């Protein structure tokens, strides 16, 4: 950005390679840097993130976003992906950069964030991401989007029950909802099991991991869509959050 001396993100090539068996090429590294600069700039007008430090941005926004999809079998095949409640573009934008053959729809209910992301995606030359301003509850009932996606991602949008109700109706049979969580216990899984079943899914896998710089504990929930979701779900706007399943 002209006139402003912004810090440069660390490359962390070895850490990417050791932890995810992948590392960004020169173009991807440049896009990560542009993403960092644009998010910091956007933060002046919009509440996008509290993270400004380069290393923390690398770990919590870049590494954490991509880590959840790194173990997926279908990682090299084209996938239709939706990121629900993407905010400043996480995890969807780093994933669109890291997986150029995937198509990522960035969904948020806040118009200003979507306008920001539309400009960002164009400025970074990301041609495999689109933006959409809507509520997950509305989109889940839309015939062009319902049961359309191979993968639905959701991070920091609400409780696991709310996230399951937002994601699973959008996922096609055989596809996955990926819920990014912080702390998680076996009894949380037990409580979620019947809710996921109600929505046409099953809890296929829960992974626990520590982030590579600050060693923070994180979990990822992988919900497989096994049967069509009943027409009643997702419920109307606001209901999943006010009366969680
Ligand atoms: N996923 C990003 C991240 O991890 O940094 C942003 C998380 S931010 C805390 C939550 C975002 O979800 C906000 O941008 C909000 O506008 C959006 N959101 C909340 N409820 C939503 C809904 N029902 N449908 C679509 N977006 C929603």
C-beta separation of 14 from 38 below 8 A: no
In which region does residue 85 sit, left (phi positive, over 0), alpha (psi from -120 to 50) or beta (all else)?
A: left
pLDDT at 76 (0 to 100): 80
CA distance 238 to 44: 29
The confidence score (pLDDT) of residue 81 equals 98
Predicted local confidence at residue 4, as pLDDT: 60
Give tens-digit pLDDT for 9-21. 999 999 999 999 9
In short, whether 86's Cβ falls inside 6 Å of ligand 1 is yes
Is 87's C-beta closer than 6 angstroms to any atom of ligand 1?
Answer: yes
Ligand 1 atom with the smallest distance to the CA of 180 is 4
Mean pLDDT of the chain: 96
Region of residue 159 (left: phi > 0; alpha: psi -120 to 50; beta: else): beta
Residue 2 confidence (pLDDT) above 70: no
Residue 3 has pLDDT above 70, yes or no: no
11, containing H or E segment: none
CB-ligand 1 contact for 242 (6 Å cutoff) = no
Query: For a pocket test of ligand 1, which of 108, 139, 155 has the largest count of ligand atoms closer than 8 A to its C-beta?
Result: 108
Asked if the model's pLDDT at residue 89 lies above 80, the reply is yes
The tokens 């164009």 sit on which residue? 122
Average pLDDT of span 232-239: 98
Ligand 1 pocket, 120 CB below 6 A? Answer: no
Which residue has a Cα nearest atom 9 of ligand 1?
156
State both tokens at 173: 């049979």
Any long-range contacts for 115-122 (C-beta under 8 Å, 24+ apart)?
A: 116/42, 116/45, 116/46, 116/48, 116/88, 117/86, 117/88, 117/89, 117/93, 119/38, 120/35, 120/38, 120/39, 120/42, 120/89, 120/93, 121/93, 121/96
Ligand 1 centroid, distance to 132 Cα (angstroms): 12
- For ligand 1, whether the C-beta of 110 sits within 6 Å is yes
Question: Is 41's pLDDT higher than 60?
Answer: yes
Q: What is the C-alpha separation between 19 and 35, in angstroms, rounded?
A: 22
| Residue nearest atom 6 in ligand 1 by C-alpha distance | 87
Which atom, in ligand 1's list, is nearest to the CA of 137? 23
Quick one: pLDDT band at residue 125, thresholds 50, 70, 90? very high
Q: Is the pLDDT of residue 74 over 90?
A: no
Atom of ligand 1 nearest to the CA of 166: 23
Q: Are 95 and 67 in contact (CB under 8 A)?
A: no
Establish whether residue 108 lines the binding site of ligand 1, counting it when its CB lies within 6 angstroms of any ligand atom.
yes
- For residue 170, what is the DSSP state? G
Cα distances from 174 to residues 25, 179, 200, 201, 205, in angstroms, run 31, 16, 11, 9, 14
222 contacts 67 by C-beta, under 8 angstroms: no
Specify the DSSP class assigned to residue 169: G
- Ligand 1 within 6 A of 156 CB? yes
Q: What percent of the chain clears pLDDT 70, i.e. is strictly above it? A: 98
Instruction: State in Å: Cα 86 to ligand 1 middle.
Output: 6
CA nearest ligand 1 atom 24, residue:
135
Give all strands (DSSP E) within the chain, no chain letters.
Answer: 80-84, 103-108, 129-133, 149-155, 171-181, 201-210, 217-225
State both tokens at 139.
């989109």
Terminal Cα-to-Cα distance of the chain (whole angstroms) = 46
Residue in the block written with tokens 């069509």: 228
């Amino acid at each position: 950005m002209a006139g402003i001396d912004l810090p440069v993100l660390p490359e962390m090539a070895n850490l990417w390679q050791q932890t995810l068996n992948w590392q960004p090429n020169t173009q991807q590294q440049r896009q990560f840097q542009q993403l960092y600069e644009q998010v910091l700039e956007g933060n002046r007008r919009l509440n996008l993130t509290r993270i400004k430090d380069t290393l923390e941005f690398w770990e919590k926004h870049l590494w954490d976003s991509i880590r959840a999809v790194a173990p997926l079998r279908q990682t090299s095949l084209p996938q239709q992906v939706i990121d629900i409640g993407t905010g400043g573009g996480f995890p969807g934008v780093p994933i669109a950069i890291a997986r150029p053959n995937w198509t990522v729809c960035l969904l948020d209910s806040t118009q200003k964030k979507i306008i920001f992301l539309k400009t960002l995606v164009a400025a970074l030359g990301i041609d495999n991401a689109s933006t959409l301003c809507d509520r997950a509850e509305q989109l889940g009932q839309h015939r062009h989007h319902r049961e359309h996606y191979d993968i639905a991602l959701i991070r920091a949008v609400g409780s696991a029950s709310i996230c399951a109700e937002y994601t699973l109706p959008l996922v096609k049979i055989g596809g996955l909802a990926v819920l990014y969580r912080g702390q998680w216990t076996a009894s949380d899984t037990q409580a979620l099991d019947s809710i996921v079943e109600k929505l046409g899914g099953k809890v296929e896998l829960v992974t626990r991991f520590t982030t590579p710089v600050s060693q923070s504990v994180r979990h990822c929930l992988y919900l497989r869509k096994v049967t069509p979701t009943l027409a009643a779900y997702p419920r109307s706007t606001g209901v999943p959050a006010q009366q969680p399943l």
